[in-house]
Amino acid sequence: MKITVFGTGYVGLVTGVCLAELGNEVCCVDIDENKIAMLKAGKSPIFERGMDELLTKNIAANRIFFTTDLHLGIKHGEYLFIAVGTPSALDGSANLDAVFTVAKIIAENIEQSCVVVIKSTVPVGTGDNVRAIITDGLKARGVNIDFDLVSNPEFLKQGDAIEDFMHSDRVIIGADSERAFVKMRLIYAPLKVLIVNMDVRSSELSKYAANAFLAARISFMNEIALLAEKLGADVENIRRGISTDPRVGPYFLHAGCGYGGSCFPKDVKALIKIAEDAGCQPDLFKAIEDINARQKRILVEKMEKHFQGDLCGKTVALWGLAFKPNTDDMREAPSRELLESLWQKGVKVQAYDLVAMNEARRIYGERDDLKLCSDAMSALENVDALVIVTEWDEFKKIDLTSLVAQLKSKVIFDGRNLYDPEKMKQMGVEYYCIGRNK
């Protein structure tokens, strides 16, 4: 099948490459000339495990190509996937300008029957608006071209997105006709995946509901962690105790210094706005966001308490910049709030991350109070404390004897609960973690 994907960001590129891997002829369109030039050369503009190999393989097999020519993309595709960004507007709502721009271009240029698939995360009712834009555009042209409008939200975890796509646990298809369902099932048939059919509006809301629910689990455990610290309990024991209940399960129950990334923060904000616009009071959604905002401040609060409010002139090592392991994404990352708060207090930071160093340079440039180090151990030289905000395996598996020996001041602030507090105590380390200090 001939498929065009508009947008080569995280969702668009993963979708395009994986659909090519399934044997389709895929055209990926983007207005960013530099990004398209990179992709034509077989280089991915995003860090995602397995992406470079899959990209090179499918370019060589002529199953995928990249262009800035929107008209070529529309002419190519029997399926037109809209996978452009929907960033947060100032009021928390999703900015749909790019989605509607693509819809208008489709309306002005399609010449044959097609399926228009909204892959971007969009508020409820966006499918209706896109359908209206295309319908009105066709009327203005004086042509009668049949098309189907489908909502097909993505559920990809950064760092595991290719694996998630190729071995998905379900695919949601929102459509208003059996013909659209049949056409979409043809695309996903090679995956032998569970297809969940529903109406367009329910599909749109399902994406927000899924992300808000996962964010709620994280915020719930962070609230329990705060209580555990006050009562002398251990949040890790609590997590193990409740996660074995099949009604609860083990996922997204780790207490820490907050969630970040391109999805959870943006989608919770958008869901709050959607609820308010619908006349609902989104108390739970607001609480999820408030708890997460508090959690991002918790390490600095622990540091201020340890150093008795005197942080000015201190130097700390920071392990982790990305919002989670296996990605270089720093959008809404806890490291950013931590860095900016420490700088305001006169603290110098020596930071290390396995893949997000260039992203940190892009965001912050050259600063006297930020040193980007070549490895984890060199970041520890002559620091007053170590702060951990990303749970990379390298940090989990590091030799603790070498770690402690390298620290001039035996102080660790661990935002991801990587180590055993009792062992740290035995090694002479003042160890501050989340929900485990008695």
Burial class (CB in 10 A: 0-12, 13-18, 19+), 327: buried
Overall size of the chain counted in residues: 438
- CA nearest to 50, candidates 87, 21, 86: 21
What residue type is assigned to position 95 of the chain?
N
Whether 263 is a known active-site residue: answer yes
The backbone torsions φ and ψ at residue 144, rounded to the nearest 5 degrees and listed phi first, read: -120, 95
- Residue owning tokens 């520890």: 380
Closest CA to 106 of 64, 153, 143, 152: 143
What are the Cα distances from residue 175, in Å, to 44, 78, 80, 201?
A: 32, 17, 15, 9
List the beta bridge partners of residue 431: 412
Is-contact 5 19, C-beta < 8 A? yes
Distance between alpha carbon 265 and the CA centroid of its chain, in Å? 9
User: Is residue 247 exposed (0-12), middle (13-18) or buried (19+ Cβ within 10 Å)?
Assistant: exposed
The single residue of 18, 263, 373, 433 carrying the catalytic annotation is 263
Exposed/middle/buried for 144, CB within 10 Å: 0-12, 13-18, 19+? Answer: exposed
Q: 371 forms bridges with which residues in the sheet?
A: 350
Q: Of 74, 78, 80, 147, nearest to 108 (Cα)?
A: 74
Confirm if 189 and 197 have CB atoms less than 8 A apart.
no
The helix, strand and coil proportions of the chain, stated in percent and rounded to the nearest 5, come to 45, 15, 40
Q: Where are the alpha helices (DSSP H) in 177-263?
A: 178-188, 200-231, 235-243
Question: What are residue 25's phi and psi, to 5 degrees?
Answer: -95, 110
Each as own residue / partner, the long-range contacts of residues 392-395 (CB below 8 Å, 24 or more positions apart, any chain) are 392/319, 392/320, 392/325, 392/353, 392/354, 393/325, 394/354, 395/319, 395/320
Q: What residue has token string 């929102």?
A: 174
**Which tokens is 374 given?**
């070549």
Q: What type of residue is 392?
A: W
- Active site positions, annotated: 263
